[in-house]
Structure 1
Amino acid sequence: MRTGRIERNTTETTILVEVNLDGTGTYNVSTGIGFLDHMVEQFSRHSLIDVTMKVDGDLHVDQHHTTEDSALALGQALVEAMGDKAGIGRYGTAYSPMDETLARVSLDISGRPYLVWKAGFSQEKLGEWDTELIEHWFHSVSQTAGITLHVELLYGTNNHHICEAIYKGFARAMRTGVELDPRKGDAIPSTKGQLGG
């Protein structure tokens, strides 16, 4: 089983994240931000990556540290679970429709973090979550997971649908990227013989 466990403790947040890349999409998520919980649950369910995420953050200050640190820890757990990345698909692309909304997410688990974000929101909050933090969440997870990540909103008007379509697209793309390809065996999916650097 390809699993990762990260405990991240700072003066701003206390976090436990566990992932199982070969799971069934089982989740146990509690960040203190309801809409963020909902999105991480969507990620788990649609990627088939089991996720446990427990966050105790300084929400009395604002939501920034909890949002950022939860993504950093998730990325670190994914890296730990992938190990040397031997045999993974590496690339993933998903089109994700939700009612009037269509999002496209493409990624390369390259070890070279980069985010291209072509999406936006017309309201300041989803539930109690500040929508300006959504892009930052993806930036943070791409940094620690070493993912080149392209997120595009092709069209859509409902902010809830936009956010959910993006997270589901990310999930489906990650599912393809981390799945083991039996044709690759134990080969690293790069002519360099390594990913990153």
Structure 2
Amino acid sequence: MTSVSDSSRPRRTGSVSRETAETKIAITVDLDGTGAYDVSTGIGFLDHMVEQFSRHSLIDVTMKVEGDLHVDQHHTTEDSAIALGQALSEALGDKAGIGRYGHAYSPMDETLSRVALDISGRPFLVWKAGFTQEKLGEWDTELIEHWFHSIAQSAGITLHMELIYGSNNHHICESLYKGFARAMRTAVERDPRKGEAIPSTKGQLGG
């Protein structure tokens, strides 16, 4: 590991390699990055959304996925989110010094969404959004909620996502991903006032 230039603290990175009969995945993340990304899942719109997540959270993401797309998109969608959540959890470690909470209102043209989250170690998703078309590009829109459910479970995030209003399905999806990204940026950032303190009166997060 290399050190952050203005601190003795190590960079917070995580890597996951995961291979099953359904998918082969390699993911790395750097919480102290600049929003650089290299993403290839085989699903163009999912690539676009993970790239938005990286750029707006400032979390560097490298994601390579080979999935059984000849079957359908479910396994690729689910497993990419699980592995990304695992990599984020590894990078967070014991979560010492992080902000822990994050929220964002995310406008995009006629659409407005709200995302609030807690890196609590207690996974939960509240989803109040929906789509009026079956696909965005070639991606099945019914899988978008499942992607967020999977990443919340594997990263240990309490995640609330709400579409306040909007009509364009592309804008709705992108607004939710950008809101998630900006909320994560706030939550994972180190608070200098906290030092190495765990942001919980219990002395640990989760459970």
**1:107-153 CA distance string (max 9 Å, x none):** 00000000000000000000000000000000000000000000000
The one-letter code matched in structure 2 to 1:102 is: L
* 2:129 equivalent among 119, 131, 141: 119
| 2:112 aligned partner, one-letter code | L
User: What root-mean-square deviation, in Å, do the aligned CA atoms of Structure 1 and Structure 2 show?
Assistant: 0.2
Q: Aligned residue pairs: how many?
A: 197
Which residue of structure 1 aligns with residue 71 of structure 2?
61
Q: Where has structure 1 moved over 2 Å in runs of 4 or more?
A: none
Distance in 2 separating the partners of 1:113 and 1:62 = 26
Distance in 1 (CA, whole Å) between partners of 2:116 and 2:199 is 17
Partner of 1:6: 16
Deviation at 1:13, TM superposition (A): 0.1
What amino acid is aligned across from residue 195 of structure 2 in structure 1?
A: G
Q: Structure 2 residue aligned with 1:70, among 80, 99, 105?
A: 80
Q: Does 1:191 align with 2:207?
A: no
**Structure 1 spans left out of the alignment, 5+ residues:** none
Are 1:20 and 2:30 an aligned pair?
Answer: yes
Normalised TM-score (structure 1) = 1.00
Q: Where do 1:24-39 residues align within 5 Å?
A: 24-39=34-49
Counterparts in 2 of 1:164-175, with a 5 A limit? Answer: 164-175=174-185
Aligned residues with identical type, % of pairs: 83
For structure 2, the 5+ residue unaligned runs are 1-10
How far apart are residue 34 of structure 1 and its match? 0.1
Q: Which residue of 1 aligns with 2:169?
A: 159
Aligned-partner Cα distance in 1 for 2:68–2:28: 21
For residues 20 and 80 of structure 1, the distance between their equivalents in structure 2, rounded to whole angstroms, comes to 10
* CA deviation string 1:162-190 (max 9, x = no partner): 00000000000000000000000000000
Alignment of 1:138-153 (within 5 A): 138-153=148-163
One-letter identity of the residue aligned with 2:166? G
Cα displacement (A) at 1:89: 0.2
Read off the aligned partner of 1:161 and give its amino acid letter: H
For 2:90, the equivalent position in structure 1 comes to 80
SS of the residue corresponding to residue 71 of structure 1 reads: helix
Question: How far off its partner does 1:41 sit?
Answer: 0.0
Q: 2:37 corresponds to which letter in structure 1?
A: Y
Aligned partner (choices 97, 104, 108) of residue 94 of structure 1: 104
Counterpart in the other structure of 2:52? 42
Instruction: Write the letter of the residue equivalent to 1:56.
Output: E
- Please state how far the C-alpha of 1:99 moved relative to its aligned partner: 0.1
**C-alpha deviations, 1:64-116, integer Å up to 9, x for none?**
00000000000000000000000000000000000000000000000000000
Query: Post-superposition shift, 1:26?
Result: 0.1
